[in-house]
């Protein structure tokens, strides 16, 4: 399917609109101010005598913020935001090299030679500039950043494709591939497609590469069959591959993408949509190796998975991609932002045991892991601006078109206006599963039935196709996705979740925090799971309570058998994404069963 962009879709209300507004009202300024205070904005001045020395990826932090600001400009013009973006544009125009190259780190380090260190993020920063350029152009019609990007692409093309003048062949941190394909989508200029193809196809052939898994240089992309290495780099790469496969109708590339997606979704993904289960290289590990307390699960990695899953829809009309995108969005992505909109998680553990916390601390470096509290800024502060750019662009994830069929991939209170086709979706999803759809000028609508939904009602005839309920000539439809509290088990191959159960309702993963429960949550057993109730909202979504038990038994540590006596305990759960907003606390997604 072709994905509908922000031009044709508008988010109107509901939970996601509240988040979009929170980010506009709080996060946009909070991140800008933090970047200003820490010298990241000032680095665009390219002053070698600046108080804060520029870092190789600082350009990307700020320009990712600009991408987010651009989306907000598209929703409602704001001179202050526009001025900030233009201030950055002016500095880039002033400080770019003659041939179009721009990088604040290299600008203040004239002793260094550009494109000689594959780990120095130059092409990564360039990619984020290109994404901001696309966003700003689509939101305002102003091509100032597109021009900067175009000249920069010419420079990169000359050095990498014509002169072979760089010390490496493909980026050490992928991102530019998908960014070039966005430039191509918007401009139609094949130079962007050519450079993207070059970076994708040359990768993994060992030409001035280290053949390492860390940044996916171990094999050519069409031979990749397992998600490995740094998980953000991986999913940015896979997103570029999916875009390229769709644009170029490249079947081997599409097949590789499907393999990689299935490998993640079936072997290497937390229930929250978190990926990358070790801090060591921020990387994927082997299948089913998904520890809860030591989860890395970077916010950016879940965002990258959301990008990848969404783009897979361009290759195949199957609801499984939107299922994964939804899982990541409402859990592992949203958890990266505090309820007040000004603090962030870089890593997103699925368990915080304050006892073990002190154990880890005994051996751990100061900016410690696992993290227990959101922070206002990080040394490597990629996640906060990634949230700033994601939230205002969420509407772009909702719909797709293939021929005469409009696909509803994500349920948002929103409206579509595309070539005479008007669709209005009214819902408070995921607070509940009631969805009203008004359609006109639409020949066929395909409504995704989520993987979590075991029963639903639709007041119209439909046929099921690849996870979508397809209705011909729709007008007024009511879809009710039954949304009971579910107790979910993990594949027994996941050691960390054996004998445990997680609570979900709709796409929302729940967690227990000690602050809500006056007993040790790690000594609680879900057991009988009686008297399940859905209660008042916390963080905009309902809480859940039910009764399980704790145990008392023989006062010995080890025995051939124990016959414990149960003490009923009522446990309160909040949406996982809202954890750690009330101080440090024990937290668990997976409860003893």
Interface contacts to a copy of itself, rule CB under 8 A = 265-267, 269, 271, 278-280, 285-286, 288-289, 291, 294, 355-356, 358-365, 368-369, 454, 486-495, 498-499, 502, 522-523, 551, 553-562, 564, 592
- Shortest CB 554 distance to a copy of itself, Å: 7
Burial (CB count <10 Å: 0-12, 13-18, 19+), residue 419: exposed
- Shortest CB 210 distance to a copy of itself, Å: 19
Cα(395)–Cα(5) distance, rounded to whole angstroms? Answer: 8
C-alpha distances in Å from residue 27, one per residue of 197, 366, 386, 392, 404? 36, 26, 11, 12, 39
Candidates 471, 431, 432; CA nearest to 448 is 471
Beta-strand pair 351-352/587-588: antiparallel
With respect to a copy of itself, which residue has the nearer C-beta, 10 or 279? 279
Cα(408)–Cα(423) distance, rounded to whole angstroms? Answer: 10
The residues, any chain, with a CB within 8 Å of residue 467's CB and separated by 6 or more, are 318, 319, 320, 323, 448, 449, 451
With respect to a copy of itself, which residue has the nearer C-beta, 200 or 234? 234
* CB 236, CB 250: distance < 8 Å: no
With respect to a copy of itself, which residue has the nearer C-beta, 19 or 327? 327
Given the structure tokens 């010298």, which residue do they identify?
A: 39
Reported as type and span, the H/E element at residue 352 is strand 351-352
Given the structure tokens 């996705």, which residue do they identify?
A: 481
Q: CA-based angle 408:413:417, to the nearest 5? A: 65
Question: How many other C-beta atoms lie within 10 A of the C-beta of residue 188?
Answer: 9
Beta-strand pair 468-472/444-448: antiparallel
With respect to a copy of itself, which residue has the nearer C-beta, 164 or 454? 454
Q: CA-based angle 358:360:363, to the nearest 5? A: 110
With respect to a copy of itself, which residue has the nearer C-beta, 130 or 576? 576
Cα(219)–Cα(193) distance, rounded to whole angstroms? Answer: 22
Q: Is 282 a catalytic residue?
A: yes
* CB 427, CB 435: distance < 8 Å: yes
* CB 82, CB 70: distance < 8 Å: no
Catalytic residue among 125, 155, 235, 382: 382
Residue 568 CA to its chain's centroid (Å): 39
Q: What are phi and psi of 360, to 5 degrees?
A: -60, -40
With respect to a copy of itself, which residue has the nearer C-beta, 48 or 568? 568
Candidates 369, 336, 130, 352; CA nearest to 240 is 130
Q: Is 190 a catalytic residue?
A: no
Catalytic residue among 67, 282, 298, 513: 282
Helix (H, G, I), strand (E, B), or coil: what is residue 423?
A: strand
With respect to a copy of itself, which residue has the nearer C-beta, 87 or 495? 495
- Shortest CB 183 distance to a copy of itself, Å: 35
- Shortest CB 225 distance to a copy of itself, Å: 15
DSSP string for 514-553: GGG-SS-GGG-EEEEEEEEEEEEEETTEEEEEEEEEEEE-
With respect to a copy of itself, which residue has the nearer C-beta, 6 or 232? 232
Sign of CA dihedral 260, 265, 268, 270: positive
- Shortest CB 522 distance to a copy of itself, Å: 5
- Shortest CB 285 distance to a copy of itself, Å: 6
With respect to a copy of itself, which residue has the nearer C-beta, 234 or 283? 283
The residues, any chain, with a CB within 8 Å of residue 471's CB and separated by 6 or more, are 444, 445, 446, 447, 458, 460, 461, 462, 477
- Shortest CB 262 distance to a copy of itself, Å: 9
With respect to a copy of itself, which residue has the nearer C-beta, 52 or 562? 562
C-alpha distances in Å from residue 65, one per residue of 34, 43, 230, 257, 472? 11, 14, 23, 29, 42
Q: Is 49 left (phi over 0), alpha (psi -120 to 50) or beta?
A: alpha
- Shortest CB 267 distance to a copy of itself, Å: 7
With respect to a copy of itself, which residue has the nearer C-beta, 211 or 266? 266
Cα(475)–Cα(460) distance, rounded to whole angstroms? Answer: 10
- Shortest CB 351 distance to a copy of itself, Å: 11
- Shortest CB 57 distance to a copy of itself, Å: 20
* Residues across the chain: 593
Q: What are phi and psi of 252, to 5 degrees?
A: -55, -40
- Shortest CB 272 distance to a copy of itself, Å: 10
Task: Cite the active site residues.
Answer: 282, 382
């Amino acid at each position: 399917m072709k994905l509908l962009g922000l031009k044709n879709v508008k988010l109107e209300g509901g939970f996601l609109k509240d988040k979009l507004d929170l980010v506009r009202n709080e996060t946009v300024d909070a991140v800008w101010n933090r970047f200003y205070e820490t010298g990241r904005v000032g680095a665009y001045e390219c002053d070698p005598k600046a108080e804060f020395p520029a870092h190789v990826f600082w350009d990307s932090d700020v320009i990712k913020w600009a991408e987010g600001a651009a989306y907000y400009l598209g929703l409602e013009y704001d001179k202050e935001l526009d001025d900030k973006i233009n201030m950055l544009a002016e500095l880039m125009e002033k400080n770019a090299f003659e041939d179009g190259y721009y990088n604040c780190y290299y600008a203040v380090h004239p002793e260094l030679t550009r494109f000689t260190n594959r780990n120095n993020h130059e092409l990564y920063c360039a990619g984020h500039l290109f994404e901001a350029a696309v966003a700003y152009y689509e939101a305002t019609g102003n091509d100032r950043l597109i021009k900067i990007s175009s000249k920069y692409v010419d420079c990169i093309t000359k050095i990498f494709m014509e002169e072979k003048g760089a010390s490496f062949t493909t980026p050490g941190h992928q991102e530019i591939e998908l960014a070039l394909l966005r430039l191509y989508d918007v401009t139609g200029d094949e130079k962007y497609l050519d450079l993207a193809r070059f970076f994708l196809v040359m990768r993994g052939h060992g030409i001035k590469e280290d053949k390492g898994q860390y940044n996916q240089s171990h094999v050519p992309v069409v031979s990749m069959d397992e998600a490995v290495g740094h998980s953000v780099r991986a999913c940015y790469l896979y997103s570029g591959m999916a875009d390229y496969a769709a644009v170029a109708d490249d079947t081997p590339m599409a097949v590789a993408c499907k393999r990689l997606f299935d490998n993640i979704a079936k072997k290497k993904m937390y229930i929250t949509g978190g990926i990358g289960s070790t801090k060591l290289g921020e990387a994927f590990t082997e299948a089913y190796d998904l520890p809860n307390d030591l989860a890395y699960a970077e916010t950016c990695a879940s965002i990258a998975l959301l990008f990848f899953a969404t783009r897979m829809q361009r290759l195949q009309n199957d609801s499984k991609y939107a299922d994964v995108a939804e899982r990541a969005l409402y859990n592992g992505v949203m958890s990266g932002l505090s309820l007040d909109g000004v603090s962030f998680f870089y890593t997103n553990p699925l368990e915080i045991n304050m006892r073990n916390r002190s154990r880890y601390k005994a051996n751990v470096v100061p900016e410690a892991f696992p993290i227990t509290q959101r922070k206002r800024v990080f040394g490597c502060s990629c996640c906060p601006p990634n949230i700033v750019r994601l939230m205002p662009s969420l509407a772009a994830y909702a719909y797709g078109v293939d021929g005469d069929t409009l696909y509803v991939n994500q349920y948002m209170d929103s409206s579509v206006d595309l070539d005479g086709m008007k669709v209005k979706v009214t819902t408070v999803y995921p607070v509940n599963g009631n969805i009203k759809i008004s359609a006109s000028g639409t020949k066929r609508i395909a409504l995704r039935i989520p993987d979590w939904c075991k029963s639903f009602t639709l007041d119209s005839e439909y046929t099921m196709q690849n996870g979508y309920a397809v209705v011909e000539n729709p007008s007024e439809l009511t879809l009710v996705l039954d949304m009971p509290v579910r107790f979910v088990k993990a594949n027994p191959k996941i050691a960390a979740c054996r004998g445990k159960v997680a609570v979900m309702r709709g796409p929302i993963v729940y967690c227990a925090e000690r602050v809500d429960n006056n007993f040790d949550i790690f000594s609680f057993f879900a057991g009988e799971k009686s008297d399940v109730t859905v209660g008042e909202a916390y963080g905009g979504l309902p809480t859940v309570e039910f009764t399980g038990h704790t145990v008392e038994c023989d006062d010995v540590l080890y025995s051939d058998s124990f016959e414990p006596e149960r003490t009923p305990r009522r446990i309160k759960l909040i949406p996982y994404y809202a954890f750690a907003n009330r101080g440090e606390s024990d937290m668990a997604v997976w409860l003893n069963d």
